[in-house]
Chain A
Amino acid sequence: MGKVERARAGRGRRGGGRRDRRSRTSRAGPVRASVALVLLAGGLTACGSESGTPSLTWYTNPDNGGQAKLAAACTQAANGKYRIKTSVLPNDATQQREQLVRRLAAKDSGLDLMSLDPVFIAEAANAGFLRPFTSAEEAQFTQGVFPASVENARWEGKLFAAPFWANTQLLWYRKSAAKRAGVDPTAADFTWDKLIDAALRSNTTVAVTGNKYEGYMVWISALMASAGGRIITNPERGSDATVDFDSPAGRATATIISKLARSRAASPTLSTEIEDPARNTFNAARGGFMINWPYIYAADLADAEAGVIDKSIPADIGWARYPQVTAGQPSKPPLGGISLGIGAYGKHENEAVEAARCITSEPNMKAYMLAEGNPAARPAVFDDPEIVKQFPMATLIRDSINAAAPRPITPYYPDVSSGVQSKWHPPASVNPNTTPKETDDFIPKVLRDQRLL
């Protein structure tokens, strides 16, 4: 999830960044000298290995350096077979896609590996931008990997990307607020209705990402899936696909969004909130409940330590599975994460496959999860004692990803998503009687170039 990265980058600047800077200034001299040495050495090896070692370029979404570290580790493990250089993409998922699409449409041969938001895999695969994995290669990338992540990486039966990390959203709550409202968010039948009523009773807010961006689509599609519906029922028909919001599930989704957005339980900035501002709302005086990715826990811990937020907040934070739409019908939390795609025009595809194999190995996924807080794509990692220690909610994250539903898998995903956003934003404008119907009329026309978007 690109947006998560933006949020994470923001946190890095505020929380962890300070520590780095201090150490950098105190050891400026030696650091500078060693940087010079490394550059010199790098230059020498570059000259020496021009003909021998193939150099792979991995376009990564921004993080706090975790992917660059994996690149270095895999370069070392490759023992001269290949080298991986990383190049960082823009902050938000939409812009990451924009840059990748531009490069791939121009048949960029310098694009070997890319960190792809799973929602864009179908589009890139359909356009011929990605090199599919052969059936012999597939096993390594699909066995012991969350099924939803694998499903999301397939297009027309072939695997086009290797799940690298997976993500999902949880319901975060302040134990004090839940107590005041007299609810138990971990109860087996905790629904959105109960959630909003609890927030109203305790005069607190339910923070969600309601800005007009992909994060809002994450919310809408998770509600839709939890209500038992599917946004697109026939994605294989490409631009002739139809949309199915005008259904009991679609109307239930609209009812929840409009109920929350028009109540006092909504943050005043609901319609512009992305991940980190939602976290601010949750940490503010009226904060009570929040739907967000797991990164926020580590972020709050760091902020409390740095004195950015009240020190008592982390101990007050509880977590529960994504709320249900219908009581008793298990929710389907959203699925996020990053998968590795291999550029169709790269010159070193075999080396790229090997590099992907190294990056997505279980130990490296674990290392990445520990370093960056992004959940691994292999459920086995969640039983690791180190992981359990650092992520007290590891089991819940694993179970949520296991139950998660991907957003619509279609080559026209960006249009479907922006189409939904344009009809459903701002959240307070959603009307269960008209919005679903309008969306169903609108999106097919957009796909056929009969409407602007």
Chain B
Amino acid sequence: MTVTVDKPLPAGTGRAEITDRAKAERRLGLLLSAPAIVVMLLVTAYPLLNALYLSMFSYRLTAPDDRRFVWFGNYVTALTDGLFWQDVFTTFFVTAVTVGIELVLGFAFAMVMHRAIFMRRTVRTSILIPYGIVTVISAFAWRYAFDLNSGFVNGWLGLGDYAWFTGRWSSLSVIILSEVWKTTPFVSLLLLAGLAQVPRDLGEAATVDGATAWQRLWRVTIPNMKAAILVAVLFRTLDAWRIFDSIFVMTAGQNQTESLSFLTYRQTITRTAIGLGDAVGVLLFLSVVLIAAVFIKGFRVDLAQARGER
């Protein structure tokens, strides 16, 4: 718009020194990204707002006539219910343990992939295989492996007729094992990218200075990978926080192994209690936002840097 360009910018505004070219470029940028933003709004903002709206009703799909507006009553129900907090704890427990184990294991695998001298491709491929398997299928494989009738695990460990899926902690450990098996490759892949970014000369300089391998790892490699590690932890935490498939397949949420996503699914889809389910869904969404905010603000994760943009 030539009219605005000709006018001198008022003095004192922050970005007074912007050139016409930069302005035009910015406008073009906005125009080019507009379709994507519109689509994003349609597919994320609309369902979100709709969920917010519906969460204020006591509303069951199968009893449409009994629909009542209850303000934030569903949130009160959810937040004061022991089941909600039990599921929050289960989700937190699974997330913390899986991400912890995956970080250590994933780092080890990343080192192996990074340092592998012979059969490099084979090593990398074989480490990545579990990640290529659909979660539902891997969950079934683990379920059958630990099953009393069809499983081989009890035979190997000499556990007799120990029933894994009849207790909370034993079921959770199988769920955690399968999650770790399935997603450690993802973590190691992100960490491998981080490892590759650590300049070789830093390690060499440290060696010359007489640093041991352990010192090099803790003082040189890991600090230089901080961004990659935090991104890996952030992605995996958000992923693990939404855990659903493994639990659905292995225990269907029984024996107190239900996660927050599963709770949402049961209220909304199984019980068709749309209002209550959407309230739990909104709470789940807020918890995800909270986790992301803590990571990005608290730990200053720079997503752009991790993607190699800077």
Contacts and interface: CB of A to CB of B under 8 A. Distances in A.
A136 interface: no
A452 B78 contact: yes
A449 B77 contact: yes
A269 B272 contact: no
Contacts of B73: 449
A431 interface: no
Contact of B165 (A126, A272, A418, A448): A272
Given A271-B166, A272-B165, A449 B62 contact: no
Interface in A101-128: 101-102, 105, 123-124, 126-128
Contacts of B70: 449
A51 to B, nearest CB: 35
B272 A105 contact: yes
A280 interface: yes
Contacts of A426: 166, 255
Given A212-B252, A426-B255, A453 B66 contact: no
B232 to A, nearest CB: 33
Interface string A277-310: 1001000000000000000000000000000000
A69 interface: no
Given A271-B166, A418-B271, A212 B61 contact: no
Contact of A449 (B254, B263, B272, B276): B276
A268 B148 contact: yes
Contact of A452 (B58, B166, B252, B276): B276
Contacts of A450: 77
A451 B81 contact: yes
A269 to B, nearest CB: 5
Contacts, number: 87
A123 B77 contact: no
A211 interface: yes
Nearest to A421: B254
Contact of A238 (B63, B78, B267, B276): B63
Given A94-B270, A269-B166, A280-B149, A452 B280 contact: yes
A123 B61 CA distance: 10
Contacts of B58: 448-449
Contacts of A354: none
Given A239-B63, A268-B161, A452-B276, A415 B271 contact: yes
B106 interface: no
Interface in A245-274: 268-269, 271-272
Contacts of A236: none
Contacts of A453: 83, 266-267, 271, 273
Contact of A101 (B62, B66, B163): B62
Contacts of A451: 77, 81, 83
Given A269-B163, A272-B165, A450-B77, A127 B64 contact: yes
Interface string A123-160: 11011110000000000000000000000000000000
Interface in B47-74: 58, 61-64, 66, 70, 73-74
Contact of A127 (B63, B74, B78, B254): B63
A268 B162 CA distance: 8
A98 interface: yes
Most chain-B CB neighbours within 10 Å: which of A94, A101, A128, A450? A450
Interface in B259-303: 263, 266-267, 269-273, 275-276, 280
A126 B62 contact: yes
Given A449-B70, A449-B276, A452-B77, A411 B63 contact: yes
Contacts of A212: 252, 254-255
Contacts of B263: 452
Contacts of B266: 418, 453
B235 interface: no
A277 B77 contact: no
A414 interface: yes
Contacts of B84: 452
16 contacts: A98-B269, A98-B270, A129-B62, A212-B254, A213-B252, A272-B166, A414-B270, A418-B270, A425-B254, A449-B70, A449-B74, A449-B273, A449-B275, A452-B81, A452-B83, A453-B266
CB-based closest 10 A-B pairs: A212-B254, A127-B62, A449-B58, A452-B81, A452-B83, A269-B163, A268-B161, A271-B166, A105-B61, A123-B62
Given A415-B273, A426-B166, A449-B70, 19 more contacts: A101-B61, A105-B62, A124-B62, A212-B254, A239-B66, A268-B166, A269-B161, A269-B166, A272-B166, A411-B62, A414-B270, A415-B271, A418-B271, A425-B254, A449-B74, A452-B81, A452-B83, A452-B280, A453-B267
